[in-house]
């Protein structure tokens, strides 16, 4: 056995059932354990004897159950055995399972899970299983669909998947500025024939005007509920547009307050408006027409900053003046340091300004300590306060992901309450930029989602303040994105050494990566971030290598990522494609990925056209 090379054993394995391989070669030695590891990820318990099944559950599962990502099971006796012995608890990392040829009882049990489908944070293998095994038979049961990955949207387009969901009522998806325009427009075009579709919810970083224009062309007449939450809501409509949408409920984020008026004059049947605003500036040149059926307004705006022009309160009152004769429900979600917002008399003034108002609710985040005249006052750990109307009437923000974009640098001007409020924090590895008085971070940084450690402008190779970096991570329970902008791989690992245990919560990681990096860089990185799902590597090629060496470097990176990051969904490679040689590397890599059955996607059809720009392409693992 030991004398045969690995290639021969892999050829032999082709003629064996993968369960027989696992039963026979598990625990022999390290060499065979590495050879059979690939057969542990996807388990198909079909066409096997009872003896083989019992061998597998007694000898393999107790030691290697956490390696399994996908399970297919057909026999009702196997399911019964799994239940009696609590076998599924051994498969802690199971991402998908498939039950086929089961009786009506089990089919009725799983039918409840068919109504609302969320295709987010799942592997490509799980996605393909779902589209091939479930959708053809049960697509008409689905009422609500959530989809976030441009790969999934592209696959839906190519295979006309939406046509299988004849009774789909709601679709939620994410699109971004770098996403391929043809894929997005093809996605929109499928909506036209879906006459049961009443709700569309869109998030991401695509321009709001482009979204509205596309929906105006492709949305079905049944659409009445629309959500457009874009990180980049401008530019708005450059030319006047005749919108034919029959929208009754609109949730939208705009940059300037005046941007909403172009839209309102076209949505004549609008009844409820949920409006999030980045900048309360309003221009007087726009025409202001209020939809005559509009009776509910939910308005969100503000941040802790000083205004050199009109106050937030003044701008808000001017805006609300246009709605005073028809609103029946008003909801305010405000972040502001202005004292008017914690003055009960001013809040009463708002309520009395409307002739038909039946309900007034507010949630105000302030830096001032409110008086005792408010029913609901909550002091936060960062020395700020929340005041609100009584529960259960306390409003909930619908756009907090977009408006909590307060980013700060950890420098000499940073205040403690800014640190507790920030959504994104940048650390510079230059010691003189840090505050002279060290912070005592004694509370959780619950708002922090994004942390970046940047090299900065320094000639020193020494990393400064790594202990602070570690403490911020440990005090940030909701941290999801980590970006390390250091050139040397040794510096990256030196920084990560200060984290006492592998990070479970980080699911997006970005760093620089070059041909000069250690050959085991990916393997060692996976030890610090074993649960990461999305990795972006900024590739830096050196001129000393030919194009074939560069291609081998990229393929090795992909294979190692696939091997060591077991939860990874997407690998993003960001590199320059600015000449014929670089474009040749990309085309060869694309061909190689197709042979490996890997999905590779570039936001642009012709990345070479992006001369002297970074082109980011992703690979679905």
Question: Per residue, what are the HEC states of 52-102?
Answer: HHHHHHHHHHHHHHHHCCEEEECCHHHHHHHHHCCHHHHCCCCCEEEECCC
d(CA 12, CA 5): 11
**Average pLDDT rounded to a whole number, residues 350-375:** 88
Report yes or no: 591 and 584 within 8 Å, Cβ to Cβ: no
Give yes or no for residue 62 having a pLDDT over 60.
yes
Give yes or no for residue 436 having a pLDDT over 50.
no
| pLDDT tens digits along 228-248 | 988 766 545 555 566 778 999
Q: Which of 234-248, 269-283, 440-454, 607-621 has the lowest mean pLDDT?
A: 607-621
Question: Cis (ω within 30 of 0) for the bond into 330?
Answer: no
**Average pLDDT rounded to a whole number, residues 545-562:** 84
**Average pLDDT rounded to a whole number, residues 123-128:** 74
Tokens of 576: 């320059």
Burial 358-386 (b: 16+ CB within 10 A, else e): eebbbbbbbbbebeeebeebeeeebebbb
Q: In terms of Cα–Cα distance, which of 471, 452, 467, 589 is closest to 509? A: 452
| Global confidence as pTM | 0.66
**Average pLDDT rounded to a whole number, residues 191-200:** 92
d(CA 298, CA 270): 13
Report yes or no: 509 and 482 within 8 Å, Cβ to Cβ: yes
What does the pLDDT read at residue 608? Answer: 36
What does the pLDDT read at residue 432? Answer: 40
How does residue 458 score in pLDDT terms, banded at 50, 70 and 90? very low
Q: In terms of Cα–Cα distance, which of 511, 516, 473, 515 is closest to 493? A: 511
Give yes or no for residue 360 having a pLDDT over 90.
yes
What does the pLDDT read at residue 609? Answer: 35
% of the chain with per-residue pLDDT over 70: 77
Q: What are the strands of the beta sheet with 225-230, ordered from one edge?
A: 116-119, 144-147, 170-175, 199-204, 225-230, 249-256, 272-279, 296-302, 329-335, 359-366, 385-388, 376-379
- Fold that domain 103-247 belongs to in CATH: 3.80.10
What does the pLDDT read at residue 611? Answer: 31
What does the pLDDT read at residue 562? Answer: 84
Max avg pLDDT among 174-178, 204-208, 511-515: 511-515
Is pLDDT larger for residue 604 or for residue 476? Answer: 476
**Average pLDDT rounded to a whole number, residues 477-489:** 85
Burial 421-458 (b: 16+ CB within 10 A, else e): bbbbbbbbbbeebbeeeeeebeeebebbbbbbbebbee
Domain coordinates in residue numbering, the chain:
6-99, 103-247, 407-620
How does residue 93 score in pLDDT terms, banded at 50, 70 and 90? confident
Max avg pLDDT among 88-92, 128-132, 219-223: 219-223
Return left, alpha or beta for 556; rule: phi > 0 is left, psi -120 to 50 is alpha, else beta: alpha
How does residue 460 score in pLDDT terms, banded at 50, 70 and 90? very low
DSSP reduced 3-state for 483: strand
For 407, phi then psi, to 5°, come to -110, 135
Alpha carbon 386 to chain centroid, angstroms = 28
**Average pLDDT rounded to a whole number, residues 149-165:** 87
DSSP label at residue 130:
I
Give yes or no for residue 568 having a pLDDT over 60.
yes
Rg (CA), the chain: 28
What does the pLDDT read at residue 462? Answer: 45
How does residue 274 score in pLDDT terms, banded at 50, 70 and 90? very high
**Average pLDDT rounded to a whole number, residues 301-311:** 67
DSSP reduced 3-state for 329: strand
**Average pLDDT rounded to a whole number, residues 127-156:** 86
| pLDDT tens digits along 403-435 | 544 455 555 455 666 676 677 788 765 434 344
For the chain, what is the mean pLDDT? 78
Give yes or no for residue 87 having a pLDDT over 80.
no
Residue 12, C-beta contacts closer than 8 angstroms, at least 6 positions apart: none
How does residue 98 score in pLDDT terms, banded at 50, 70 and 90? low
Give yes or no for residue 291 having a pLDDT over 70.
yes
**Average pLDDT rounded to a whole number, residues 282-294:** 77
């Amino acid at each position: 056995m030991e004398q045969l090379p690995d290639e021969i054993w892999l050829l032999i394995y082709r003629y064996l059932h993968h369960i027989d391989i696992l039963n026979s070669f598990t625990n022999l030695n390290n060499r065979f354990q590495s050879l059979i590891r690939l057969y542990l990820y996807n388990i198909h318990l079909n066409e096997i004897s009872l003896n083989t099944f019992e061998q597998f559950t007694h000898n393999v599962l107790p030691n290697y159950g956490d390696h399994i990502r996908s399970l297919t099971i057909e026999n009702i006796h196997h399911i019964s055995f799994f239940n009696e012995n609590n076998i599924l608890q051994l498969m802690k990392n199971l991402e998908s399972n498939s039950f086929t040829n089961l009786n009506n009882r089990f089919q009725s049990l799983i039918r409840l899970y068919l109504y609302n489908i969320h295709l987010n944070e799942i592997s490509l293998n799980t996605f393909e299983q779902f589209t091939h095994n479930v959708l053809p038979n049960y697509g008409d049961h689905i009422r609500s669909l959530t989809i976030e990955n441009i790969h999934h949207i592209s696959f839906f387009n190519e295979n006309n998947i939406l046509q299988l969901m004849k009774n789909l009522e709601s679709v939620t998806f994410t699109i971004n500025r770098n996403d391929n325009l043809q894929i997005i427009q093809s996605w929109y075009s499928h909506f036209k024939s879906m006459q049961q579709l009443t709700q569309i919810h869109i998030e991401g970083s695509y321009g709001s005007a482009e979204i509205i224009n596309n929906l105006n062309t492709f949305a079905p007449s049944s659409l009445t509920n629309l959500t457009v939450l874009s990180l980049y809501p401008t530019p708005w409509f450059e030319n006047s547009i005749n919108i034919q949408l029959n929208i009754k409920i609109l949730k939208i984020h705009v940059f300037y307050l005046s941007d909403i008026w172009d839209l309102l004059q076209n949505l004549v049947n609008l009844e409820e408006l949920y409006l999030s605003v980045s900048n309360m500036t309003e221009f007087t040149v726009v025409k202001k027409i209020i939809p005559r059926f509009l009776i509910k307004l939910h308005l969100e705006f503000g941040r802790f900053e000083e205004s050199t022009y009109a106050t937030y309160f003044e701008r808000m009152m001017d805006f609300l003046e246009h709605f005073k004769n028809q609103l029946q429900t008003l909801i305010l979600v405000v972040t502001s340091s202005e004292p008017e917002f914690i003055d009960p008399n001013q809040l009463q003034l708002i309520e009395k300004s409307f002739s038909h108002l039946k309900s007034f609710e507010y949630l105000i985040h302030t830096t001032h300590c409110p008086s005792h005249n408010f029913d609901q006052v909550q002091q936060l750990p960062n020395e700020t306060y929340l005041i609100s109307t009584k529960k259960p009437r306390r409003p909930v923000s619908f756009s907090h992901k977009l408006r909590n974009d307060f980013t700060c640098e950890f420098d000499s001007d940073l205040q403690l309450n800014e640190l507790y409020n920030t959504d994104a924090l940048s650390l510079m590895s230059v010691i003189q930029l840090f505050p002279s008085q060290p912070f005592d971070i004694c509370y959780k940084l619950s708002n922090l989602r994004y942390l970046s450690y940047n090299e900065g402008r320094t000639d020193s190779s020494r990393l400064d303040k790594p202990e602070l970096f570690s403490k911020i991570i440990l005090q940030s329970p909701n941290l999801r994105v980590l970006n390390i902008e250091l050139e040397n791989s040794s510096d990256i690992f030196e920084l990560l050494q200060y984290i006492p245990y592998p990070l479970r919560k980080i699911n997006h990681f970005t760093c620089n990566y070059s041909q000069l990096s250690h050959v085991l860089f990916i393997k060692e990185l996976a030890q610090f971030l074993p649960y990461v799902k999305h990795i972006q590597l900024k590739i830096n090629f050196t001129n000393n290598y030919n194009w074939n060496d560069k291609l081998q470097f990229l393929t090795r990176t992909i294979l190692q990522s696939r091997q060591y990051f077991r939860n990874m969904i997407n690998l993003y490679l960001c590199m320059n494609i600015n000449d014929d040689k670089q474009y040749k590397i990309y085309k060869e890599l694309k061909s190689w990925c197709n042979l490996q059955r890997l999905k590779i996607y570039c936001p642009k059809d012709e990345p070479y056209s992006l001369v002297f720009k970074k082109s980011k392409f992703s690979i679905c693992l």
